[in-house]
Amino acid sequence: MTRALKRLLREPLTGFLLLGALLFALDARTGEAPSGGAIEVPPARVAAARERLQQQLGREPTGAELGAQLDGWLEQELLYRAALDLGLAEGDPIIRRRLAQKMGLLLEQRAADREPTDTELRELLAEQPERYAEPTRYRFEHAYYPREEHGAAAARVAADALARLRNSPDAPPPTGTPFFAGQRFDDLGTPQLRKIFGQDFAAELAALPAGDWQGPVASGYGAHLVRIIERVPGRPATLEDVRSELVSEWREQVRRQARRDALAELRERYPLRLPDSP
Partner 1 sequence: MMRHLYPLPVIALALLLAGCDAGGGRGAPVAGGSPTPGPDGHCSDGRAGFKNVYFGDLHTHTSFSLDAYFFNAMTDPAAAHRYARGLDALPLPAIGSEDVFTKGREIRIDRPLDFNAVTDHAEFLGGFKLVCDNTGQTQQACDQAIGQGIRDDIVAIARGEVPFQTALAQSIINQSPTDMIAWAQTKAMNDDNYAPCEFTTLHGYEFSSNELSQMFHRNVIFNGPTEAMPLDVLSSFKLTTATHPENGNDDWDLFDHLQQNCLNVPGCQALTIPHNANLSDGRMYLAAGEAAGMTVLGELDGVPLGRKLEFSDVYFPMTADDARLRRELDRSFEMTQHKGQSECAIGLDGEYLANDEGFDPACGFEINKSVCLGRADDPPGCAELCTGAPEDPNFCHHRTAGGNLVERCASTGPDGASGTGEAADGTGNCSHPLDYYRNAMAEGLKIKQTLGVNPYKVNITASLDTHNADSGNAVEAGFKGHTGVLDDEPFEQLGFWACDNAGGDEDPSDPANCSNRQFLDFSRTLNPGGLAGVWAPQNTRDDIWQAIHRGESFGTSGPRIRVRTLASWDPLPNRICSELASGRDLIASGEFPNAARMGGDLPPRPDGAGAPWFAAVAIQDPEGYPLQSLDIIRGYLDGEGAPKVEVINGAAQTAQAVTLPSRQDCSVQTGAHPATLCAVWQDQDFVAGRGDSFWYARVREIPSCRWSTYNCHVENDVDCGLLDPANGLFPEESGLQGFEGCCITRGEPGSFSGENHFHSIEERAWASPVWYSAP
**Continuous segment of H or E residues that includes residue 105:** helix 93-111
Q: Is 188 in the site for partner 1 (CB under 8 A)?
A: yes
Please give the sequence-ordered ranges of beta strands (E in DSSP) within the chain, or none if there are none: 137-146, 184-189, 213-219, 222-232
Site string for partner 1, 33-72 (x = CB under 8 A): ----------------------------------------
Considering only residues 225 to 264 of the shown chain, the ones binding partner 1 according to CB under 8 A are 234, 237, 241-242, 245, 248, 251-252
Least separation, in Å, of the C-beta of 241 and partner 1?
6
Nearer to partner 1, 35 or 199 (CB): 199
110 binds partner 1 (CB under 8 A): no
Q: How far is the CB of 78 from partner 1 (least distance, A)?
A: 23
**Residues in 198-227 at the binding interface with partner 1, rule: CB under 8 A:** 198-201, 219-222
Q: Does 10 bind partner 1 (CB under 8 A)?
A: no
Provide the β-strand partners of residue 214.
Answer: 226
Q: For residue 190, state whether it binds partner 1 (rule: CB under 8 A).
A: yes
Kindly tell me which of 151 and 211 has the beta carbon lying closer to partner 1: 151
Rounded CA Rg of the chain? 35
N- to C-terminal Cα distance for the chain?
A: 54
CA distance 25 to 9: 19
> Which of residues 45, 50, 110, 147 is near partner 1 by CB under 8 A?
147
Could you please report the per-residue DSSP string of 123-177?
Answer: HHHHHSHHHHPBPPEEEEEEEEEEHHHHGGGHHHHHHHHHHHHHH-TTSPPP-BB
Whole-angstrom distance, CA of residue 145 vs CA of residue 225? 8
Contact residues: partner 1, CB under 8 A:
94, 97-98, 100-101, 105, 131-135, 137, 146-152, 177-192, 194-201, 219-222, 234, 237, 241-242, 245, 248, 251-252, 272
